Every structure is written in C-alpha cells, then in structure tokens.
A and B are shown apart, each in its own frame.
Chain A
Amino acid sequence: MMTLGKKGSRRGLAAAYPTWFYLPAAIVFGVLFLFPTFASLFFSLTRWTLFQYSFIGLDNFRQFFSEPFLVWGLVNTLIYAVVTSGSKVVLGMLLGILLTSNVMVRGLLRAIVFFPVLVSTIGVGITFTMLMHPTNGLINDVIAVLGMKGPAWLTDPRFALLSVAFVDVWKGVGLATVIYIAGIVSIPSEYYEAAKMDGANALQRFWNITLPLARPATVTVIILSLIGGLRSFDLIWAMTKGGPGFTTDVVASVIYKQYQAGFYGLSTAGNVVLFVLVAAIVVPLSFVLNRKEVEA
C-alpha cells in the first residue's frame, strides 16, 4: 500500500508538466551526459587510436592495474586526499571559531581567508613553485636567514607530495572555513549560555556543543574535500607534473599521461577506474556520516 501511494504521488508530480516540456533538458542530458558515459564505457574496452579501434575486452583494465606507477598513484592519491581533507577539517574548524568570535575587523579577515579560493589553481601552483625553488625561492631564503638549509621542497621525493598538499590546503581551507562559519553561526546561543551557567569551561563547550552541532558542516567539508582530493590534478600538474619521476603521481595524472601518450582506450579505462574508486569511497562514507547525523 505504501509503495502504491508513493508511486501515485510520483506520477502526480510527473503530470505537472507535459512531456515536451522535459524534452530540451532530456536532449541536453542525453547528448552531453548519457551518450559520453556509455561511449566511454565502450571505448574503455578497446584499443583506440582516434582513427580506429579494436575490441580487446578487459585488457585495458589488466594493463592499467599492472601499470608500475599506478600502485604508487593510488597510494599517493589516498595520502593526498586524507592529508588535505583532514587538515581542512581541523584548520577550517579552528578558523571558523576564530572568525565567528568578536575579533576585530571580522569581515575583512573572513574575506582574506576566502581569497585564495578565488585565485586560479594554476596561478597558485606556479607562484608556489617559484617560492619553493631550492636555491633562489623565498621560503628557503627565509630558512637560510635562520641559519639552516631548506630542502628541495618539490624535487626531493620525501617532501614533494606533502609540499603540494600544503598548497592545496592553503588554497582550499577558505571554503571549509566558510562552511564552518555558517554551521557555527546557526548554533543557538542559548546552549552556550546554559553551559556557562553550569560551569562548563571553553574546551568542554567546544567538545560538547560546537563539535556535535557543527556536524553537518563537518560532513560537508569532509565529503567535498575528499572528492576534491581523490580527483585532484590541476595543482599537482602545475607544480610537479607528477615528478620528480613518478613520486607525486596520482591516479588522475597517470590517466592524463596515458591520454597524452595517445593511449586513448587505456586512459578511458583509467577514468572508469577513477569513477568507481571515488564512488566506492564517497558513497558509503556519505551514507555513514549522514545516518549518524540523523541519530544525533
């Protein structure tokens, strides 16, 4: 009975417009989204030169998974996604609290934190590449003034990935902060007043009020930055091109390089893999996080 009722209501919604009204959107969706999706599934099963293709079954996937750099790329992708996502949650939360307090020139400070989000990623990448230059970059010049020798931030395999992740956090933390500001502002001030009456200190108030009640903001930040981290490409490409060698390769840059090399079928297969990977991580995560929110 329930399902019947649901069906009925859905049909009622559908009848709100005549069929022709849906047609423009349906055509756009079909041509620009549906067709490419199925075409890419098909071409991922072929060896494709753009001029001709031959059907080779799952060989591309076998090749892609035996790619020596792919395992590295997967590990790097996960490290990068977790590091940037985690840092954005922590820093975004702290900045959010600071910028919802009665700090001076609050509006200006909020704008300054958000500013890097508005700058082009490639521009940020090129700027930091210069700042991080081992011998004449500003960062190592400053370290030299302190009497130490800074490392080769982007060309030493031990630091390269984390250096790029740092820039990603610098650029992206503004968005996380704005989400947290919105979340924290929406918490009614009565809770804090009541807690103060009961003698709760600042840490207790943060732990028992702000943190749980800002949960929707946390969920949004984690999911957005995790997806962003998993498919990150532009900043890494602008700063290291996956190098030195393969040390900062992520899945997206491995795919791009296959495309550059003209292995169109193989890189399409890589995109299918990336799609499945992102979905496999984010869908369950979003399910778990949202369910807990309801319980809370």
Chain B
Amino acid sequence: MSHAISRRLLVAAAAGSALALSFAASAQAEVKLNFLVDNAPATVKASEALAAAFHAKNPDITIEVESRAAGSEGDNIVKTRLATGEMTDVFMYNAGSLFHALNPPQNMLDLTDEPYQSDIMDIFKSVVSENGHVYGAPYQTAMGGGVLYNKKIYAELGLQIPKTWADFMKNNEAIKAKGGVTPVIQTFKDTWTSQLFMLGDFYNVLQAVPDFPQKYTANQIKYATTPAALRGFEHQAEVFKAGFLNEDFGSASYDDGLRMVSKGEGAHYPMLTFAIGNINENYKDYINDVGFFALPGDDAAKNGLTAWMANGIYGYAQTEHPAEVKKFIAFVASKEGCDTQTEAVGAIGPYMTKSCTLPADVPPAVKDLVAYFAEGGKNAPALEFLSPVKGPALEQITVEIGSGIRAPLDGAKLYDDDVRKQALQLGLPGWE
C-alpha cells in the first residue's frame, strides 16, 4: 500500500510537480525508530548490536536504542508512557503476567499473521498472546530458576548434584562441616533475589498439583493450604534455621552473591540463569567454575526445571511506521537476530526461535541449563507465565521468611492476601 503510494508520487514527480517532488523526497527519507529496553548492561549491548546489524541490512531505517530502569520502576515507566501516548515505536518487556497488565490489544501491534511465527516455539507464543492474537516476538533467551553452584567446591568435597531436597541439605551440611565456605548465599539488599526458593520450586508444585495455575487464577487454591506449594517457603526457612547462610545475608547485594559463588566463597546461590551473563561480564576468569542445577523437590524421579520465558519485543500500536517496526521485530526473532545477540553478549540460554542454535563453547552453567530444555530434559514454565496473578509484596515476604522474622505458613497466608489485590486490579472473575 505505502509502496504503491510512493510509486504514484514518483510518477507525479517525473511529471514535474515541485510539490510532489518534495513529498517523494520525504517518502524516501530515512525512517528512525526508537527502541526502549531495560538498562541491564547485557541488554543494552545486545540491543545496540541488533540495531547496528539491522541498519546495515536496511540503510534507510535507523534504530535508536533508549534504556530505562529495570524491575518495578521500569514497569511504571512502561505503563506511564503507554498511558500518555509517549511510547517508543518498539519496546522490550516481559512476557507472561506483566505482559497482560499492559492491555496488549489496545497498546500493541498485532503480530499474529507475521510469516516468522511458524519458526517461534509455541510455548513462547502462548505467553505473549491474548484472545488468540500474538502480540510479541522473542527477544533474548529463556532462563532457568534454580541454583548456581561452585564446581570447584563440589569437586573438592566429592559432592553429587542433588536430585532431592534432602540431598541438597546433606551437601550443605558437608560444606558447613568443612568450614570456611558459605553453603547457601542469600543477598537481601537486593530483595528480588530472595524469591528464588519459592518461585524456582514451581516445577515441583506442578508435579504434585497439575492444575494449580488454573485453580489459582480462579481463586480456588491457596499457597497456605496446599502442602506442595508451601514447600518452597519452608525450604527457605530451613536453610536459615540450619545456619547455612552467609553472615551478611541481610546486607549483601546481588553482585556480592555473584562474586561469592564465582570465587568459591560460597557454594550455592539460588538465582535465575541470566546471572551467568553478569558473571561473564564481572568475573570472567571464574565463569568455568560455575554450574547450575534445578531446585530439587521431594522425589528424585520427578526432578525438573522451573523455566522463565524469553522477554518479548513488541510494536507500539500508535507508531507512525508499523511496516518498519514489523520488519525490525522480524529481524530480532530470526536466526540472524539470535546470532547477532550471541556475538554481542554470549549465549546464556536457549533461544525461543526454532532455527536458532547455540555455539559449542558455551559456559558450563549454560550447558547445564540447556540440558533441561533438550530432548529428554524436563521443564515447566514458572507460575507467572501460566497465571496473571502475582503479588507485589512477595519479595518482602520471602526476605522475612529467609531471615527468620516470619514463619513460612504465616508468610504464605500473607502472600495469599497480597495476590488478591492484583487479581482485583486485573478484574479476574471469582475474586470479588
């Protein structure tokens, strides 16, 4: 359509109309798209590499990368910019529950009929869709929520990767007995890091209660009254009670945690695997000492990984250049897009585009992670991708449980109250 118009204008220009000539010039002029991403160094680096690679292929389209805060502050920036009509042409944002809170049909370009969709994994499409329409394409890689561990300590003490919670605690006991090394690293200065025991245990919850997400969304099941769901909270209290934590767990930061597990000051750090990218950046010399395993549950036969989907890249519904935006998103979701990202920041997990591959020389922790996604590997999406209900106060509650301030059952009850607000805000049925 726009093609036809510009051709008609060119004809008019050939006829000698000065007015049409100026229109034709503007139609051929460069298009500039703004691309809003979070300000994690790896994200900015990958985004700028994508912008440059895309511009090299399409010299008439320039992508300008703009960064914003991450976390809940970033959520507010995105929501405010959408509400005030100030959103950039393209933006990166979470998939799953946070995606649904943005009112996608009103705010995002519909990408359902894009040709590349057949190359995208169905599991990813399910977390960026609403009412059967797909609004996002994958950006960056999928992650796992589990335990980063120091391989040197494991080799030195002859420990095995634990497949059950009891084995995990036995390993901790052995590490504590040896002395000088912290068995479990916790870093509550960055409160979000306290949630892993609970959120990363969801694969195990799902094994015990397969319809937990549906019932949870419909207000028919609770954390406090479901023993399998309560286990994550209880585990966190157990490691505190056993004295397995670093002395400064209340004041240590996320970066302290990465340093401790990389350099072997601590053995286990419950974390999301995107941290491998940060270790690669800050403690590169130690990257081969770090491995990864899923949080173990009660049954060794049912051991598997709680997986976090890749982020999404979305087009703003009110952009002036929808065709160019779609072209850029298609590039990001293509094999070429994946390779550009791998080249820029290294591969830290599996891509959600089927034709994308990882290089052979990925760090050991990434190898451990990819095994859970490979044939025969077991994984399930985290709850936030299966249900829009997630309470905002979870990180404070898990800090309290993990510091022995609050009992697990009490914390679970508090969290059940907390999610009610989110459900009401989203207008879900069954919560009024």
- Where the two chains meet, the residues of A that have a C-beta atom closer than 8 Å to any C-beta of B are 47, 49-52, 54, 63, 68-69, 129, 133-136, 152, 154-157, 241-247, 257-263, 266
Cβ-based interface call for B73 (8 A) = yes
Ordered by A's residue number, 15 sampled pairs between the chains whose C-beta atoms are within 8 Å are A49-B103, A54-B427, A68-B414, A134-B250, A134-B251, A152-B250, A155-B188, A155-B403, A242-B396, A244-B400, A244-B403, A246-B396, A247-B405, A262-B79, A262-B392
- Where the two chains meet, the residues of B that have a C-beta atom closer than 8 Å to any C-beta of A are 72-73, 75-76, 79-80, 82-83, 101, 103, 106-107, 188, 191, 247-248, 250-251, 392-393, 396-397, 399-400, 403, 405-406, 414, 417, 421-422, 424-425, 427
Q: B405 contacts A49, CB within 8 Å?
A: no
CB-CB under 8 A for A262 and B76, given A51-B103, A244-B399: yes
Q: A157 contacts B405, CB within 8 Å?
A: yes
CB-CB under 8 A for A263 and B421, given A243-B399, A245-B396: yes
Q: In angstroms, how far is the closest chain B Cβ from the Cβ of A284?
A: 33
The residue from A133, A134, A261 contacting B72, defined by CB atoms under 8 A apart: A261
- Give the complex CA separation of A261 and B325 in angstroms: 29
Cβ–Cβ < 8 Å partners of A258 in chain B: 392
Q: B76 contacts A135, CB within 8 Å?
A: no
Q: A244 contacts B106, CB within 8 Å?
A: no
Cβ–Cβ < 8 Å partners of A152 in chain B: 248, 250-251
Q: A133 contacts B248, CB within 8 Å?
A: yes
Cβ–Cβ < 8 Å partners of A242 in chain B: 396
Q: B403 contacts A260, CB within 8 Å?
A: no
Q: B392 contacts A261, CB within 8 Å?
A: yes
**B420 to A, closest residue via Cβ:** A63
Q: B405 contacts A244, CB within 8 Å?
A: yes
- Give the complex CA separation of A49 and B421 in angstroms: 12
Cβ–Cβ < 8 Å partners of A154 in chain B: 250-251
Cβ–Cβ < 8 Å partners of B107 in chain A: 51
Find the residue from A54, A133, A244, A245 having the highest chain B CB count within 10 A.
A245
Q: A50 contacts B396, CB within 8 Å?
A: no
Q: B76 contacts A259, CB within 8 Å?
A: yes
Q: A63 contacts B421, CB within 8 Å?
A: yes
Q: B251 contacts A133, CB within 8 Å?
A: yes
- Give the complex CA separation of A166 and B422 in angstroms: 36
CB-CB under 8 A for A135 and B392, given A245-B399, A261-B422: no
- Give the complex CA separation of A51 and B425 in angstroms: 12
Cβ–Cβ < 8 Å partners of B400 in chain A: 244-246
- Give the complex CA separation of A155 and B399 in angstroms: 10
Q: In angstroms, how far is the closest chain B Cβ from the Cβ of A62?
A: 12
Q: B106 contacts A51, CB within 8 Å?
A: yes
Cβ–Cβ < 8 Å partners of B188 in chain A: 155, 243-244
Q: A241 contacts B191, CB within 8 Å?
A: yes
**B73 to A, closest residue via Cβ:** A260
Find the residue from B80, B397, B421, B422 having the highest chain A CB count within 10 A.
B421
Q: In angstroms, how far is the closest chain A Cβ from the Cβ of B254?
A: 14
- Give the complex CA separation of A17 and B248 in angstroms: 65
The residue from A50, A129, A245 contacting B80, defined by CB atoms under 8 A apart: A50
Q: A243 contacts B425, CB within 8 Å?
A: no
Q: In angstroms, how far is the closest chain B Cβ from the Cβ of A102?
A: 45
**B401 to A, closest residue via Cβ:** A245
Q: A155 contacts B250, CB within 8 Å?
A: yes
- 3 nearest A-B pairs in the assembled complex, by CB-CB distance: A155-B250, A245-B400, A261-B392
Contacts A243-B188, A262-B425 aside, 9 further interface pairs with beta carbons under 8 A come to A47-B425, A135-B248, A155-B403, A157-B403, A243-B396, A245-B403, A260-B392, A261-B393, A263-B392
Q: In angstroms, how far is the closest chain B Cβ from the Cβ of A237?
A: 12
CB-CB under 8 A for A50 and B79, given A245-B396, A261-B422: yes
- Give the complex CA separation of A157 and B406 in angstroms: 11
- Give the complex CA separation of A122 and B51 in angstroms: 35
Cβ–Cβ < 8 Å partners of B191 in chain A: 241, 243
Cβ–Cβ < 8 Å partners of B425 in chain A: 47, 49, 262-263
Q: B417 contacts A68, CB within 8 Å?
A: yes
- Give the complex CA separation of A246 and B107 in angstroms: 35
Q: In angstroms, how far is the closest chain B Cβ from the Cβ of A64?
A: 10
Q: In angstroms, how far is the closest chain A Cβ from the Cβ of B63?
A: 27
Q: In angstroms, how far is the closest chain A Cβ from the Cβ of B428?
A: 12
Q: In angstroms, how far is the closest chain A Cβ from the Cβ of B410?
A: 10
**B390 to A, closest residue via Cβ:** A261
Q: B101 contacts A49, CB within 8 Å?
A: yes
Cβ–Cβ < 8 Å partners of B79 in chain A: 49-50, 262
- Give the complex CA separation of A155 and B396 in angstroms: 13
**B188 to A, closest residue via Cβ:** A244
Q: In angstroms, how far is the closest chain A Cβ from the Cβ of B132?
A: 21
- Give the complex CA separation of A258 and B72 in angstroms: 11
Q: In angstroms, how far is the closest chain A Cβ from the Cβ of B130?
A: 14
**B248 to A, closest residue via Cβ:** A135
Q: A260 contacts B76, CB within 8 Å?
A: yes
Cβ–Cβ < 8 Å partners of B103 in chain A: 49, 51-52
Cβ–Cβ < 8 Å partners of B397 in chain A: 245
- Give the complex CA separation of A245 and B411 in angstroms: 11
Q: A134 contacts B248, CB within 8 Å?
A: yes
CB-CB under 8 A for A69 and B393, given A47-B425, A50-B83: yes
Cβ–Cβ < 8 Å partners of A260 in chain B: 72-73, 75-76, 392
Cβ–Cβ < 8 Å partners of B427 in chain A: 47, 54
Q: In angstroms, how far is the closest chain A Cβ from the Cβ of B208?
A: 28
Q: In angstroms, how far is the closest chain B Cβ from the Cβ of A241?
A: 7
Q: A245 contacts B406, CB within 8 Å?
A: yes
CB-CB under 8 A for A51 and B421, given A245-B399, A246-B400, A260-B392: no
- Give the complex CA separation of A135 and B101 in angstroms: 41
Q: In angstroms, how far is the closest chain A Cβ from the Cβ of B257?
A: 14
Cβ–Cβ < 8 Å partners of B72 in chain A: 260-261
Q: B405 contacts A257, CB within 8 Å?
A: no
- Give the complex CA separation of A63 and B422 in angstroms: 12
Q: In angstroms, how far is the closest chain A Cβ from the Cβ of B107?
A: 8
**A59 to B, closest residue via Cβ:** B424
Cβ–Cβ < 8 Å partners of A135 in chain B: 247-248, 251
